[in-house]
A and B are shown apart, each in its own frame.
Chain A
Amino acid sequence: MLKIIKYVLLDIVRSRTIIGYTVFLMLATWGMFMLESNPSKSMLSLINILLIVIPLVSIIFSTIHFYNSYEFMELMLAQPVKRSTVFAGSYAGAALALCMAFIIGTGIPLVTFDSSGAAIALLISGILITLIFVSIAYLCAALSRDKAKGTGIAILSWFFFAIIYDSLLLFILFLFADYPIEKFLLALTFFNPVDLVRLILLLKMDVAALMGMTGAVYSQLLGSVNGMLIAGLVSIIWILWPFALAMRIFKRKDI
């Protein structure tokens, strides 16, 4: 398993895309803190950028990586290596590379400007969201043999989670503005990893007060230690289920 990860990582580093991503994250983080004197404001802008960019890069990079390493996987599968090892190794390699890029790109500048609890929360959330979207990417790639189709499904799922889902939530919010639907909305956020992470971060940053009634309900339900634990657990479920399903498909696949 470790050996598979080693070769997957070697391959990823050779392609240089990951280095570009690291540099981009670094510039974005540094830029945010340079442009804005109030660190908590720059943190907010940073969160908004990261919650769009991390899912997008993670999902597209991983899908393309999966298809590009098809030859490698074929070669490995004819060797005395378990199928699940090949798959998990490929996943771990991609996830590790993206997490390292995030930790170096965002983590280093972030810690130099602001090492409060919020910064740590941002780092952990960033890693969670990366892992979630690598899982979703692997599921998309396992679903289709065709590269164009797989990448298409991946982009669509990013679009859904990062943009469409929010609009739907807003729509529901307006439609049922007269009803007490906060708890229902909270339940809905659990079905979108991006919203879930955003919520955790906002609550951690004490800007929930700006979110009115909803914010109050959210802080009440999620702001406690238990709430954070639940949110963390749900994030981990979001990493695990697409991965497990993708693994199941991959194991039964005819190469």
Chain B
Amino acid sequence: MEIRGLKKQFGRIHVLNGLTLQLKKGSAYALIGPNGSGKTTMLKILLGLVNPDSGEALFQNKSVLKQWKYRNHFGYMPQISRYPENMTPFQIMEMIKDIRQHSGAYDMDLYKQFGINKFENKAMHSLSGGMRQKVGASLAFMFSPEVIILDEPTAGLDPLSTEILKEKIIRSRHEGKLILITSHILSDLDEIITHVIYLNEGNILFQLTIEELRSRTKSEKLSQAIAAIMKENGHA
């Protein structure tokens, strides 16, 4: 997957300022940065939910802008899980299965491990935020997509479920999937990611592999490493 010079403006605010990135499969990228740094916008452009003002996004060397078939290879877990409120998780899953026409087995790992079957027949509006996140996460992985996009996946999840999700992410990465995660909870990203991309006001401040980051800052923990880099760059 490749991004070339992506620009987006909302009104007068430049959300993305010519972003260029190379994303390889079998890796997990963490997109981090302060609020409003353009993380979600970038993910939404990859999914075709937001149209960029200029630039290109390529998947398997083909542009994804204004296309739709490529989304067969994408799984997405939105930051705010908004679902049809009077449907149940079961109905939503059946509906998406019906729409996607996936050939091959469904990946029900998360569905089972999260115990969604316990509340699969309750209407969405009666579910808690964490339960909705669980539904969102299992939907993102259900069709074994090649690209998995997770926007703040661990926000609202309990520690046990976070662990389950982290293990699933690591397994998927080893299966050769491309994973993109945004998160503010840096401790959740330890162990699961291979690359860190730091966005600030629509620009990439740095892009490093986790090893580079560790050797440069000599700290094991991601949060400390990021803090060290920020200090280095005079941003702290």
Nearest CB in chain A to that of B70: its residue = A80
Residues in B with CB closer than 8 Å to A82 are: 68
Nearest CB in chain A to that of B73: its residue = A80
Stretch at the interface among A20-28, A67-75, A161-169, A224-232: A67-75
- Judged by a CB distance under 8 angstroms, whether A76 is at the interface is yes
Number of B residues contacting the other chain (C-beta, 8 Å)? 27
How far is it, in angstroms, between the C-alpha of A74 and the C-alpha of B100 when the chains are bound?
15
CB-contacts of A67-111 with B (<8 A): 69-72, 74-83
| In contact, B49 and A75 (Cβ under 8 angstroms) | no
Residues in B with CB closer than 8 Å to A11 are: 84, 86-87
| In contact, B84 and A71 (Cβ under 8 angstroms) | yes
| In contact, A76 and B84 (Cβ under 8 angstroms) | no
- Judged by a CB distance under 8 angstroms, whether A255 is at the interface is yes
- Judged by a CB distance under 8 angstroms, whether A178 is at the interface is no
Q: Mark B39-61, 1 if CB is under 8 A from A, else 0.
A: 00000100111110000000000
| In contact, B85 and A78 (Cβ under 8 angstroms) | no
How far is it, in angstroms, between the C-alpha of A127 and the C-alpha of B127 when the chains are bound?
40
Closest CB-CB distance, B136 to chain A, in whole Å? Answer: 10
Tell which of B10, B49, B68, B85 touches A80, judged by Cβ atoms closer than 8 Å: B68
- Judged by a CB distance under 8 angstroms, whether B78 is at the interface is yes
| In contact, B71 and A78 (Cβ under 8 angstroms) | yes
| In contact, B71 and A79 (Cβ under 8 angstroms) | yes
| In contact, A76 and B99 (Cβ under 8 angstroms) | yes
Tell which of B49, B69, B87, B96 touches A77, judged by Cβ atoms closer than 8 Å: B49
Q: Mark B64-86, 1 if CB is under 8 A from A, else 0.
A: 00001111101010100011111
A to B contact number (C-beta, < 8 Å): 60
CB-contacts of B195-226 with A (<8 A): none
Of A15, A75, A83, A254, most buried by chain B (CB within 10 Å of CB) is A75
How far is it, in angstroms, between the C-alpha of A81 and the C-alpha of B86 when the chains are bound?
22
How far is it, in angstroms, between the C-alpha of A76 and the C-alpha of B100 when the chains are bound?
10
| In contact, A78 and B49 (Cβ under 8 angstroms) | yes
How far is it, in angstroms, between the C-alpha of A75 and the C-alpha of B68 when the chains are bound?
14
CB-contacts of A1-54 with B (<8 A): 3-4, 7, 11, 14-15
Tell which of B44, B78, B86, B96 touches A79, judged by Cβ atoms closer than 8 Å: B96
Q: 14 additional contacts, CB 8 Å, given A11-B86, A72-B84, A78-B47?
A: A69-B84, A74-B78, A75-B82, A75-B96, A78-B71, A79-B99, A80-B74, A81-B68, A82-B68, A254-B10, A254-B44, A254-B49, A255-B44, A255-B50
Q: Which 4 A-B pairs have the closest CB atoms?
A: A80-B71, A255-B49, A71-B82, A254-B50
B residues engaging A (CB < 8 A)? 10, 44, 47-51, 68-72, 74, 76, 78, 82-87, 92, 95-96, 98-100
